[in-house]
Amino acid sequence: MVQEVYAQIRNEFGTLGEPLTLHSPLPPVLAGLWCSFRESLVAGVVPRAVKEAVAVGVSRLNECAYCIDAHAVLLRAADAHEAAALIQKGNEGGISDPQLRAAAAWAKATRSPGAQILRFPPFSGSEAPEIIGTAVWIHYINRMSKIFLGGNLIPGRLNRLGLRSLAERAGGWVFASSVRRPRLAGESLRLVPEAKLPEDLAWAAESATVARAFAAFAAAVEEAGSQALEPAVRECVLARVEEWSGSEPGLSRSWAEPAVSGLEAKSRPAARLALLAALAPHHVADDVIAGFLSQYPGDERLLGALAWSSFTAARRIGSWLNPDAAHQELTRGSA
């Protein structure tokens, strides 16, 4: 399965990106991850530049340096150099292209349930599965990249030498033919089994291919999570994420301790890791990972725990990106 997925990634994407390959210890999760990425962001009817603008905007919102670099390069490859530079600087309002400006502004609001732009998004119902799917996928991969990959994709020394813009433009040139090549929707679905689309992913239902891809990814992540984390730990995380409204939970990680205190001592390291991955991935330090591995050794279990936690948070975000859901969040918040 890994060989098949890698072959399609190379053909469709041009390179085996580390955020994808780090999932290889769990082949079903890797396949679902790739399919949901391809069918929402790479293929489809929405212009690639619009979806890459969303990807850069969400990555900047989450302060994921690696993903900002990667998708800024891909946005440049879609011939949107101005938008890439301005989103990176936090100046979305200065983008001259109105569609890209609106997409970046929407991305910036994706952790603000009830925001006006979420209630009245700058895209149609038929475009929603691809654009919301892109945002949900990026919110997931930002968490995994911050935990596993750390810093920038483009070396810091190029920035110090004033060569960052040149490196980004060169990267855009390398990926231009791949990014601009039309893709037939659904070609990745042979890699994953059919699964039922969960209710909280209903925003994908208007697109059969996006819905199938995210249903398969959700099923693979749920299976990995059930193998990695005890039911009590998952219930603890789900309860805390259900209360979350997109804001930072705290400057330190001390907020997680009351949440895990009701669990058995041996379960607390897993719950701590899972909570931090979901809501504050920048606090997943070596000692947090070591605490988990001391109780539950193995790369597969660690990856499963982090994938499940990260996707749980991304799904929560997706639940308020549907315009109807956004209105419900606003109504509930003002009650």
**Do both 195 and 234 map to the same domain?**
no
**Do both 301 and 185 map to the same domain?**
no
Q: Does a structural domain hold residue 250? A: yes
| CATH assignment at residue 121 | 1.20.1290.10
What pLDDT is attached to residue 251? Answer: 85
**Do both 255 and 159 map to the same domain?**
no
Angle CA 86–91–93, to nearest 5: 105
Q: Does a structural domain hold residue 207? A: no
What pLDDT is attached to residue 275? Answer: 97
**Do both 135 and 250 map to the same domain?**
no
3-state secondary structure the chain: CHHHHHHHHHHHHCCCCHHHHCCCCCHHHHHHHHHHHHHHHHCCCCCHHHHHHHHHHHHHHCCCHHHHHHHHHHHHHCCCHHHHHHHHCCCHHHCCCHHHHHHHHHHHCCCCCCCHHHHCCCCCCCCHHHHHHHHHHHHHHHHHHHHHCCCCCCCHHHHHCCCHHHHHHHHHHHHHHHHHCCCCCCCCHHHCCCCCCCHHHHHHCCCHHHHHHHHHHHHHHHHHHHHHCCHHHHHHHHHHHHHCCCCCCCCCCCCHHHHHCCCCHHHHHHHHHHHHHHHCHHHCCHHHHHHHHHHCCCHHHHHHHHHHHHHHHHHHHHHCCCHHHHHHHHHHHHC
**Do both 96 and 151 map to the same domain?**
yes
**Do both 251 and 130 map to the same domain?**
no
What pLDDT is attached to residue 178? Answer: 72
Last residue of a domain, one of 152, 185, 202: 202
For residues 73 and 17, give the distance between their C-alpha atoms in angstroms, rounded to a whole number: 13
For residues 70 and 20, give the distance between their C-alpha atoms in angstroms, rounded to a whole number: 12
For residues 312 and 115, give the distance between their C-alpha atoms in angstroms, rounded to a whole number: 21
Asked if 59 and 67 touch (Cβ cutoff 8 Å), the reply is: yes
Q: Where in the sequence is the domain holding 154, given as residue range(s)?
A: 2-202
Q: Does a structural domain hold residue 256? A: yes
What pLDDT is attached to residue 327? Answer: 44
Query: Of the candidates 144, 154, 149, 145, which has an alpha carbon nearest to the alpha carbon of residue 174?
Result: 154
Q: State the burial class of residue 177 (Cβ atoms within 10 Å of its Cβ: 0-12, 13-18, 19+).
A: exposed
Q: Does a structural domain hold residue 215? A: no
Asked if 70 and 88 touch (Cβ cutoff 8 Å), the reply is: no
For the question of residue 67 being annotated catalytic, the response is yes
Q: Does a structural domain hold residue 111? A: yes
- Parts of the chain with a pLDDT under 70: 151-177, 324-335
Q: Does a structural domain hold residue 108? A: yes
What pLDDT is attached to residue 166? Answer: 53
Last residue of a domain, one of 183, 202, 221: 202
pTM above threshold 0.85: yes
**Do both 162 and 240 map to the same domain?**
no
Q: Does a structural domain hold residue 28? A: yes
The 10s digit of each residue's pLDDT in 265-309 is: 999 999 999 999 999 999 999 999 999 999 999 999 999 999 999
| Backbone φ/ψ region at 82: left (φ over 0), alpha (ψ -120 to 50), beta | alpha
What pLDDT is attached to residue 323? Answer: 80
**Do both 42 and 189 map to the same domain?**
yes
**Do both 238 and 197 map to the same domain?**
no
Last residue of a domain, one of 186, 202, 218: 202
Q: Does a structural domain hold residue 208? A: no
Given 35, 64, 67, 236, which residue is catalytic?
67
**Do both 26 and 158 map to the same domain?**
yes
Q: How far is CA 252 from CA 237, 285, 312, in A?
A: 18, 12, 21
**Do both 178 and 249 map to the same domain?**
no
Asked if 35 and 49 touch (Cβ cutoff 8 Å), the reply is: no
Buried/exposed code over 58-67 (b: 16+ C-beta within 10 A; e: otherwise): bbbbbebbbb
Phi/psi of residue 226, each to 5°?
-70, -30
> How many domains does the structure of the chain reveal?
2
What pLDDT is attached to residue 160? Answer: 47
What pLDDT is attached to residue 121? Answer: 96
**Do both 255 and 181 map to the same domain?**
no
